[in-house]
Structure 1
Amino acid sequence: MFNFEELSWSDVRDIFRNYRENNERKSDEVVQLWEAILEDKISKVGVEKFPIYEQVAIAALDVGNIGMAEKCIDRLTKEFPGSKRVKLLKSMRLEALEMYDDALELLDWIIENDVTNAGPRKRKIAILRARGKRTKAIQELTEYLKVYMSDEEAWHLLCSMYLAEGEYGKAVFCMEEVLLHNPHSHLIHQRIAEIRYTMGGLENLEIAKTYYSQTVKLNPKNLRGLFGLYLTCNQLANSKIAANKKKETQKTAQWALYEATELTKQHSKIPEVEKYVTSLENAFGNIDLNKSNKQSTFSATSRGGDRE
């Protein structure tokens, strides 16, 4: 926390500038520093007051201080009456007031008049998701990614939305797009493996095994990847595959289980963890997923809610 008595208006200006440059919101701190120090001295910062107004407006909306946000937005509107950035702030204010239809109408106007602006499109998708309009949100996000194909965060979001709808094939496609940007990320390989495992079937299990293997190759301490590799190999070993391939798969399963249990023993802080690990080994050692009618609990996601 800051000692307000020791800070000058120029100190706060520099703090705000640093937040903007590092893309940090720090909404609570921004609101407190604005109210306590900078608001009454804003004329001293010169033209930098305009990005500060925008910064404070967003922070105020984050913490639910609508009055403060409105003051900053009004000052920006007087200076830049036709600015699309100011209109975006107004849409965020409408969203905070739960006037979603008005917010969407304003966002559509901004998008129509500035097709290269990613901000309004993201806000629109966020509103649609908040209102439970998942199908429409997926459509909008798909259109957004046709323009901004390198937005990894958007691909992750679309993957999660497809998983919630049970569209596993489309979710895999999204993660494969992310993998193109981060081919050495063990977490991305792990997620693709989990989705393939959830889809089931011999082909998907073979693909899941490949991705799990790459996961533990990139990060040998990925415990989830090791257990996933074991479960996948166990399923494959109990399926109709060639005898030589089955033997290889069983060896891989045994190795993965051994590595996972040893890793657990080394890093667990639970007292007498060995006995729990032994129980886990026995439980996994007796798994025969092909002979059970119960679905494995190791899945990428559960099916979420009703569709729109």
Structure 2
Amino acid sequence: MNKNLQILKNKPNNWKAARGLLREYRKKQQRNSYEIMKYGLPLINKNSKRLSKEELFEVMEQVFLAGLDVSLEESNSLLLKLQKQFPKSLRVTKLSGLFEEAMGHWKNAQIIYQSILKDNPSDQIAQKRLVCISKAQGNTKLTIQNLNKYLSHFQGDTEAWEELLDLYLSQQCYSKALFCCEELILAEPDNYQHHYQIANIYYTIGKRSDLIKARQYYAHSIKLLEEQNLKSFYGLYLTTNKLKTLFSRNLNQSETQINEQLLQFAKDKIKKFYLQKEDNNTKTTVLELLEIDN
């Protein structure tokens, strides 16, 4: 058990232990809302003078955020205190936006974040919150717009690119989804998942040229991670088999040879994987589907 938490179990009014516990949670970015509320409120209400102005703000902010999970009433009370003590604080303005979100007052929250962006168009938190609001409202079109605005300022945010990619895929906007994948590969060229994802999209589009690209990306995903990457071997098998079945007349001798080699390579790897399995029914079924002799 955490040392400070152990002290507080026996002496709940020990302000030093409460301060230490909250400091540790902030350092580790842990949102243990119930404990933060339980020990943070007495620290604010009874021992605020023992804290520096900077730490008092951090504790009040921390307890406010915990209150969004545990007690909106306490969060509201803390927000009013923060607004009174730090009337010009941009951080407090953002907290007021979070409170409006927690209350489900989407329009009020949007107005707050938009006012922040009016003065600072590249404010990352305000832009992210607008994305979260449109997402919470189920407005896919607006979420895509907000993500594009956000990424115009923060192109290196791979999580945002992944989110935008998923949204484009849900709308079957494959050309735009491909662009997201390309950005992800530029940002993280050694991430095998990105190569696997772009291969899936090319496979879904399904034209001959797209299948060749899919084959290339599945192969590169395997090059980056051969073990524990069965899905890329499946993708490579399906792609090479589809090229062989549907487009063999459009492949020259060299292309046909490469395709056959990759097809056999994928089969061999899948066979090796399933031959190690103890589940004979699954093993037999998969090998039969792949037309591989056990």
Instruction: Report the TM-score, using the length of structure 2 for normalisation.
Output: 0.87
Output the amino acid matched with 2:73.
Answer: G
Q: How does 1:282-297 map to 2 (within 5 A)?
A: 282-285=288-291
Aligned to 1:96: 102
The letter for the 1-side match of 2:256 is: K
What residue is the counterpart of 2:15 in the other structure?
A: 9
- Could you say which residue in structure 2 is the equivalent of 1:78? 84
- Aligned to 1:285, the other structure's residue is in SS state coil
Measured in 1, the distance between the counterparts of 2:206 and 2:80 equals: 56
Where do 1:267-282 residues align within 5 Å?
Answer: 272-282=278-288
For 1:64 and 1:93, the matched residues in 2 are separated by: 13
Letter in 2 for 1:45: L
Identity of aligned residues (%): 29
Structure of higher CA gyration radius: 2
Deviations 1:209-246 (A, max 9, x none): 11111111111121111111111111111132224422
Does residue 235 (structure 1) correspond to residue 242 (structure 2)? The answer is yes
**Cα pair 1:87 1:106 within 8 Å, conserved:** yes
Alpha-carbon distance in 2 for matches of 1:38, 1:81? 18
Distance 1:225 1:31 in 2: 47
The equivalent residue for 2:259 is 249
TM-score when normalising by structure 1: 0.83
Structure 1 residue 177 displacement after superposition: 0.8
- Aligned partner letter, 1:190: Y
- Using CA pairs below 8 Å that are at least 6 residues apart, which structure has the higher relative contact order? 1
Contact 2:44/2:56, CA 8 A, preserved across alignment: no
Structure 1 gaps of 5+ residues are 287-308
For residues 32 and 242 of structure 1, do their structure 2 counterparts lie closer, same or farther at Cα, with a shift above 3 Å needed? farther
1:41 equivalent in structure 2 = 47
Higher helix share: 2
Q: Indicate the larger mover: 4-13 or 151-160.
A: 4-13
User: Which one is further off, 134-143 or 249-258?
Assistant: 249-258
CA distance in 2, matches of 1:144, 1:254: 44
Q: Which residue of 1 aligns with 2:145?
A: 139
Check 1:210–1:34 CA distance in 2 against 1; reply closer, same or farther (3 A cut). same
Q: 1:36 and 1:86, CA in 2 relative to 1: closer, same or farther beyond 3 A?
A: closer
Matches within 5 A, 1:182-201: 182-201=188-207
Residue 160 of structure 1 is matched in structure 2 by 166
